[in-house]
């Protein structure tokens, strides 16, 4: 696996965009280093696709800019996009043409279509047997493989994936994930993965950013999600008294009977405290803080800005 460099391959700076007076992006900034897989998370309508549209030069921002490989998309779109390939949630191909003809036409917009190279890519995405069939007869999974093939031609350094695994079956999702991870491992591909499938993001991404109502509410390593705070699932009777005592220890109850304590809290001390107070302790289990916890905390109304 190539060592990840510090070179920034994709950067967005202070993106702002409104549609009909309604803000879609409000000063969104993030950067993705070479060889990194970066997850962009948010609810439907949060602004993820708008951000991707700006990166691809399909949406004109009201302010800010996007750079691919240090080249401004706004000023030199053609040069910038030579380094990028993109896949969308439901890639719309020409249904009445074969997969091969679709590839030839789409790749032809980037320059000369090299048959040998195209055959290699088609082989790598496992579509050789059906590449001559009309796309109208393709399953969703086959369309995504074709989308991947067209995105990989000619040879991008950055892949922009807009909810690519939506609608795929579990096998298809796994294949897609393994393929992207292999691309990163073998070619040092930089990937922007736009999704709301949190388990996928957790399995693939090195870093994530969370967008809520057009604003960035988190940008950091996935490792950082497992923060220093202690998260325990606590079951004790009587419940009301337990709540009161836990609050006294600095515990903050979050959903599902889980209580979050300040960093450095010792679980044994919590257990002893509850037992010594005469409570019947039924459960005290440390819980791993997941991406979902972070996501829900960040995206709920009034969550962290």
State in angstroms the smallest separation of the CB of 297 from another protein: 27
State in angstroms the smallest separation of the CB of 219 from another protein: 23
# chain residues binding another protein, by CB under 8 A: 41
- Residue span binding another protein (CB under 8 A) among the ranges 76-84, 178-186, 221-229, 236-244: 76-84
- Residue span binding another protein (CB under 8 A) among the ranges 98-106, 215-223, 256-264, 288-296: 98-106
Which H, E and C letters describe 205-257, residue by residue? CCEEEEEECCEEEEEEECHHHCCCCEEEEEEEECHHHHHHHHHHCCCEEECCC
Q: Phi/psi class of residue 175: alpha, beta or left (left: φ > 0; alpha: ψ in -120 to 50)?
A: alpha
DSSP string, 125-178: TT-GGGTTSBGGG--HHHHHHHHHHHHTSS--SEEEEESTTTT--HHHHHHHHH
Under rule CB under 8 A, residue 57 binds another protein: yes
Residue of 144, 150, 265, 299 that binds another protein (CB under 8 A): 150
Which of 61, 84, 63 has the alpha carbon at shortest distance from 10? 84
- Residue span binding another protein (CB under 8 A) among the ranges 53-61, 165-173, 233-241, 272-280: 53-61
The pair of three-digit structure tokens given for residue 248, joined into one six-digit string: 């006294």
> Which residue(s) pair with 193 in the sheet?
39, 161
Under rule CB under 8 A, residue 60 binds another protein: yes
Under rule CB under 8 A, residue 113 binds another protein: yes
Under rule CB under 8 A, residue 94 binds another protein: yes
- Residue span binding another protein (CB under 8 A) among the ranges 5-13, 49-57, 121-129, 240-248: 49-57
Choose between 76 and 215: whose C-beta lies nearer to another protein.
76
> Which residue(s) pair with 162 in the sheet?
194
Burial class of residue 3 in the structure, from the number of CB atoms within 10 Å of its CB (0-12 exposed, 13-18 middle, 19+ buried): exposed
Rounded to an integer, what is the distance from CA 128 to the centroid of its chain? 29
Pairwise CA distance, residues 247 & 261, whole Å: 9
Choose between 183 and 291: whose C-beta lies nearer to another protein.
183
Under rule CB under 8 A, residue 111 binds another protein: yes
State in angstroms the smallest separation of the CB of 88 from another protein: 6
State in angstroms the smallest separation of the CB of 148 from another protein: 12
Under rule CB under 8 A, residue 58 binds another protein: yes
User: Which positions touch another protein (CB under 8 A)?
Assistant: 19, 49-50, 53, 56-60, 77-82, 84-86, 88-94, 96-97, 101, 104-113, 147, 150, 160
């Amino acid at each position: 696996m190539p060592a990840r460099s510090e070179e920034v391959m994709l950067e967005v700076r202070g993106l702002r965009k409104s549609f009909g007076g309604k803000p879609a992006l409000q000063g969104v900034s993030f950067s993705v280093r070479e060889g990194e897989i970066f997850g962009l998370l948010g609810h439907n309508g949060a602004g993820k696709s708008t951000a991707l549209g700006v990166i691809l030069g399909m949406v004109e921002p009201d302010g800010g800019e996007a750079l691919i490989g240090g080249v401004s998309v706004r000023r030199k779109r053609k040069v910038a996009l030579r380094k990028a390939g993109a896949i969308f949630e439901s890639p719309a191909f020409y249904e009445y043409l074969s997969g091969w003809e679709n590839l030839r036409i789409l790749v032809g917009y980037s320059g000369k279509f090299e048959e040998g190279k195209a055959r290699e890519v088609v082989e790598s995405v496992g579509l050789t047997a059906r590449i001559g069939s009309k796309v109208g007869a393709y399953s969703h999974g086959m369309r995504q493989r074709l989308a991947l093939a067209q995105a990989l031609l000619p040879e991008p350094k950055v892949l922009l994936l807009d909810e690519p695994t939506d609608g795929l079956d579990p096998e298809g999702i796994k294949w897609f994930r393994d393929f992207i991870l292999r691309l990163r491992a073998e070619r040092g591909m930089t990937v922007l993965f736009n999704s709301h499938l949190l388990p996928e993001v957790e399995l693939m991404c090195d870093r994530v950013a969370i967008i809520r109502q057009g604003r960035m509410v988190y940008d950091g390593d996935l490792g950082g999600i497992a923060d220093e705070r202690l998260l325990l699932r606590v079951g004790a009777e009587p419940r009301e008294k337990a709540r009161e005592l836990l609050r006294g220890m600095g515990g903050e109850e979050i959903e599902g009977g889980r209580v979050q304590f300040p960093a450095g809290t010792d679980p044994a001390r919590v257990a002893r405290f509850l037992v010594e107070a005469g409570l019947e302790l039924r459960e005290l289990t440390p819980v791993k803080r997941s991406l979902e916890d972070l996501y829900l905390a960040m995206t709920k109304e009034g969550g962290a800005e």
